[in-house]
């Protein structure tokens, strides 16, 4: 393979300059999209979740016994 960035057929190899930055942005967007309910307090630790409501009772029971 020639070292000037072309293939043996003569067509140029096209690569993004900062491909890792695009991949990082896609992964961060996917993580934020999937974790949005948790991060906005609608899941796990939110005031209406069962973890918040029942968690105190379970913790108090465990501390007492």
Per-residue pLDDT of the chain (65 residues; tens, 9 = 90+): 555 555 566 678 888 788 899 999 999 999 999 888 877 766 665 666 677 677 778 888 889 98
Give me the pLDDT at residue 1, please: 52
Residue ranges covered by each domain of the chain: 19-64
Let me know: does 60 contact 54? Beta carbons within 8 Å: no
Token pair, residue 29, equals 């967007």
Phi-psi map region of 15: left, alpha, beta (phi>0 left; psi -120 to 50 alpha): beta
pTM over 0.75, yes/no? no
């Amino acid at each position: 393979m020639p070292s000037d960035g072309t293939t043996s057929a003569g067509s140029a190899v096209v690569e993004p300059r900062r491909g890792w930055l695009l991949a990082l942005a896609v992964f961060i967007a996917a993580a934020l999209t999937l974790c949005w309910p948790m991060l906005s307090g609608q899941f796990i630790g939110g005031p209406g979740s069962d973890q918040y409501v029942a968690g105190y009772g379970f913790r108090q029971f465990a501390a007492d016994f």
